[in-house]
Chains A and B, each alone.
Chain A
Amino acid sequence: DAGVTQSPTHLIKTRGQQVTLRCSPKSGHDTVSWYQQALGQGPQFIFQYYEEEERQRGNFPDRFSGHQFPNYSSELNVNALLLGDSALYLCASSLVGAVNQPQHFGDGTRLSIL
């Protein structure tokens, strides 16, 4: 049973550039959430996608955008990168309406901004 997979595992960018991170949900899941985890901190919610639409959004600027595809996979896009965007970006998947089935996380993409 494939879990949540993310790519790439590590990425280095410079300020001002744009980046796209990818996520494939756990088999059978239809909802994808993205989180940003700064060093030494807990993950912070960016947004959640279901039925190819953004359902919830955390306190992140419009530079952060996303997309969900018909096969439930998802992308996170960040424009105009800042040094403060350096973090571990985590994708989590879940099944809408499922009881006792919380979000399952991938191992993340570590983004470094130079």
Chain B
Amino acid sequence: QKEVEQDPGPLSVPEGAIVSLNCTYSNSAFQYFMWYRQYSRKGPELLMYTYSSGNKEDGRFTAQVDKSSKYISLFIRDSQPSDSATYLCAMSGKSGGTSYGKLTFGQGTILTVHP
């Protein structure tokens, strides 16, 4: 069983829709949770970062972490064609007293927003 499970999709939605992306994990040591967006032939771009449980909002994006259920989500409101990309969840625990060590990624969800 993988440490981080993410539905690979693909997910296709109309412009303006609310998109929900999810990941589950099994490692209780994870404390830092991230969402990256990756366009074709590009590296992952950090979208959202959350420490421990809770919600975080940034513009059209909202990240939620439920550590008790080992479940994280990313919501995209008013989705745009430019949001079409692969979305990767990533998480890490503390490493040697620093905040960020090895990132463990989900498989990625391919999202297409059509006009």
Residues of chain A at the chain B interface (Cβ within 8 Å): 4, 31, 33, 35, 40-45, 48, 55-56, 58, 90, 92, 94, 96-108, 110
A58:B99 contact, CB within 8 angstroms: no
Assuming the contacts A42-B6, A42-B88, asked whether A55 and B96 have C-beta atoms less than 8 A apart, the reply is yes
Which of B37-45, B65-73, B74-82 lies at the binding interface? Answer: B37-45
Can you identify 24 A-B contacts, CB atoms within 8 angstroms? A40-B107, A42-B6, A42-B88, A42-B105, A42-B107, A43-B44, A44-B105, A45-B104, A48-B101, A55-B96, A56-B101, A94-B100, A97-B98, A97-B99, A100-B49, A100-B99, A101-B99, A103-B103, A104-B46, A105-B43, A105-B44, A105-B45, A106-B43, A108-B42
Assuming the contacts A42-B6, A55-B101, A102-B34, asked whether A4 and B43 have C-beta atoms less than 8 A apart, the reply is yes
7 nearest interchain CB pairs? A42-B105, A105-B43, A107-B43, A45-B102, A105-B44, A96-B98, A94-B100
Main secondary structure of the interface of A (DSSP, over half): loop
B61 within 8 A of partner (CB): no
B32 within 8 A of partner (CB): yes
B36 within 8 A of partner (CB): yes
Residues of chain B at the chain A interface (Cβ within 8 Å): 4, 6, 8, 32, 34, 36, 41-46, 49, 51, 88, 90, 95-108
B49 contacts across to A, CB distance below 8 A? 100, 102
A4 contacts across to B, CB distance below 8 A? 43
Task: Select B108's contact among A41, A45, A106, A110, beta carbons within 8 Å.
Answer: A41
Q: How far is the CA of A45 from the CA of B97 in the complex (A)?
A: 19
Q: How far is the CA of A105 from the CA of B38 in the complex (A)?
A: 10
Give A102 Cβ to nearest chain B Cβ, in Å.
5
Q: How far is the CA of A103 from the CA of B107 in the complex (A)?
A: 18
